[in-house]
């Protein structure tokens, strides 16, 4: 069986299609499978998912980072999503290879990006060399606007590349991690305070109450509340960092519970990028046990999950377009 690695770079451009196309074209110059492109104008961000053999994926990622640095000017960037660079984050995910090989790819790419492109690079996740840099949120704290001051601190010396602030490209965060499911839920209100309250209640890190941190209800989940101008709605945007611990079913149900408590409903939801088949199958199985108490086929379970998660509003009946195994043909 071939070694397969997935790469999910996030670029700080979600509006200018010409720039996005140039980045995608640089990826497709290599022998990799383009699995998905999700651009969000409100977040002003594009998430690209591609997969292939390790060396090809690494080369495609370098080409994309180089192109992004050429077409994106971070000094002009405005968007809802936290960001710190033109190629904001570039994780490698093992599909049919080891996590250690993904760590090696991340470190080799980080060194090359720092050396050849002169972009400061932080390593994160399983590739991090210090505990303080394992979490992407820790590296992103202060965002692009605080980057100049952050790079001046000895404890925030980049792992690779120059220590000086690059106002055009910012920095890139490169790493290795398990499969992450990016899951957004839109509410039937334009009040962003509602989504912020829900995010604070559910995310693992919780929130500060009377000077004390109160943990959230969902393990391995990061969440933010944002406003989506194009749809005039509040959104709970989540990263399910380990869907075997907290899956789509649990995340959806918890957001729904909190939304109802505040007097609102879920309007619809979306998955950014792709999702492993197992994550949808398990979600469907949970609803089957809840409502019917009978076993269904794998495809039926996925169809049920898509329906109950209110994903059809985003994808219709074409759920195969977001399932990794169907895209790769494995």
Annotated catalytic residues are: 81
Distance between CA 39 and CA 59 in Å, rounded?
22
CA 238 to chain centre: 8
Do the Cβ atoms of 218 and 202 come closer than 8 Å?
Answer: yes
- Six token digits for residue 2: 């071939």
Do the Cβ atoms of 173 and 139 come closer than 8 Å?
Answer: yes
Distance between CA 328 and CA 330 in Å, rounded?
6
Distance between CA 255 and CA 238 in Å, rounded?
10
Do the Cβ atoms of 171 and 84 come closer than 8 Å?
Answer: yes
Contacts of 307 (CB under 8 A, 6+ apart): none
- Listing DSSP states for 294-328 in one string gives S---HHHHHHHHHHHTT-HHHHTT-GGGGBHHHHH
Contacts of 78 (CB under 8 A, 6+ apart): 44
Do the Cβ atoms of 6 and 90 come closer than 8 Å?
Answer: no
Does an H or E element contain 135, and which? Answer: none
Q: By CB neighbour count within 10 A (0-12 exposed, 13-18 middle, 19+ buried), where does 210 fall?
A: exposed
Strands 121-125 and 172-176, bridge-based pairing? parallel
Distance between CA 145 and CA 10 in Å, rounded?
18
Q: What angle do CA 137, 142, 147 make, to 5 degrees?
A: 110
């Amino acid at each position: 069986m071939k070694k397969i690695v997935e790469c999910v770079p996030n670029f700080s451009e979600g509006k200018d299609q010409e720039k996005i196309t140039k980045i995608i074209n640089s990826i497709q110059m290599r022998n990799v499978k383009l699995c998905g492109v999700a651009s969000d104008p409100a977040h002003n961000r594009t998430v690209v998912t591609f997969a292939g053999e390790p060396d090809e994926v690494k080369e495609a990622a370098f080409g994309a980072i180089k192109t992004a640095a050429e077409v994106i000017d971070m000094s002009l960037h405005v968007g809802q999503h936290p960001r710190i660079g033109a190629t904001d984050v570039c994780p490698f995910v093992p599909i049919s290879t080891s996590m250690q090989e993904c760590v090696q790819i991340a470190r080799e790419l980080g060194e090359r990006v720092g050396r050849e492109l002169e972009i400061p690079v932080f390593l994160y996740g399983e590739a991090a060399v210090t505990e303080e840099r394992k979490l992407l949120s820790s590296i992103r704290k202060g965002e692009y606007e605080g980057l100049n001051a952050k790079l001046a601190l000895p404890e925030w010396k980049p792992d690779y590349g120059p220590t000086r602030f690059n106002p055009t490209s910012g920095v890139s965060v490169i790493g290795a991690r398990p499969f992450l499911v990016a899951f957004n839920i839109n509410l039937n209100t334009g009040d962003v305070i509602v989504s912020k309250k829900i995010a604070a209640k559910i995310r693992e890190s919780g929130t500060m109450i009377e000077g004390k941190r109160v943990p959230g209800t969902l393990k391995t989940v990061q969440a933010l509340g944002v406003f989506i101008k194009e749809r005039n709605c509040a959104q709970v945007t989540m990263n399910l960092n380990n869907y075997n611990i907290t899956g789509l079913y649990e995340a959806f149900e918890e957001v729904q519970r909190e939304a109802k408590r505040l007097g609102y409903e879920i309007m619809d939801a979306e998955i950014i990028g792709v999702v492993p088949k197992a994550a949808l199958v398990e979600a469907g199985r949970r609803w089957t046990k809840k409502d019917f108490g009978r076993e269904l086929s794998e495809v039926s379970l996925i169809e049920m999950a898509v329906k109950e998660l209110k994903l059809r509003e985003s994808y219709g009946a074409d759920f195969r377009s977001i399932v990794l195994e169907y895209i790769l043909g494995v």
